Amino acid sequence: MTRLAPLEPPFDTDLQRTLDRMMGGTGAEPLALFRTIAHNPQVLDKFRTVGTYLLNFGTVDSLEREIVIHRTCARCGSEYEWGVHVEIYGRSLGLTDAQLKATVSEGADDAAWSDRQSLLIRLVDELHDTNDVSDGLWFALADLWEPAQLVELVALVGQYHLVSFFTRAFRVDLETYGARFPPRGP
């Protein structure tokens, strides 16, 4: 049951403008997550700024970005955000069903991942489990990604922990079109 109901239209002019920008000017109904955070317009605006940069202007490859986002949301138990990203980004960028499932239930050594992608899964898992990155993993990452991209990768994990905190703490209802976590097991 939702703990903090999403705001419903009509919205004041500034909030409507922010929500429209967050939806990319598509005219689509703003996500329940955005309308929930809108209870605090200042937080919503800062959330929009960071999210927009990471999704639209970052330097990390889009598919790699989505692997990090999907794994982070799955590790945090945010079916809401994982499912939205599956439908809006993941599938269209080429994440396979096996990879989508592996973001939820498998480890970095799963056959769905290339060696490079496996490092991203390890990064998310280490940050999630220890709030740190081991030296061995760091050096492996630094061999393949530029310093600005390393900052971006850690920021993605942090941003989607925040998203997961919002969706879980507020019990945001799942979007009707969002994918659902795959069943565990074979």
CA 107 vs CA 31, 104, 113, 142, 144: distances in Å = 30, 9, 9, 21, 20
Alpha carbon 164 to its chain centroid, in Å, reads 8
Q: What is the pLDDT of residues 35-82, one digit of tens each?
A: 999 999 999 999 999 998 898 899 999 999 999 999 999 999 999 999
Is residue 186's pLDDT more than 70? no
Is residue 105's pLDDT more than 70? yes
**Per CATH, is 60-186 categorized as 1.20.1290.10?**
yes
Where are the chain's structural domains? 10-57, 60-186
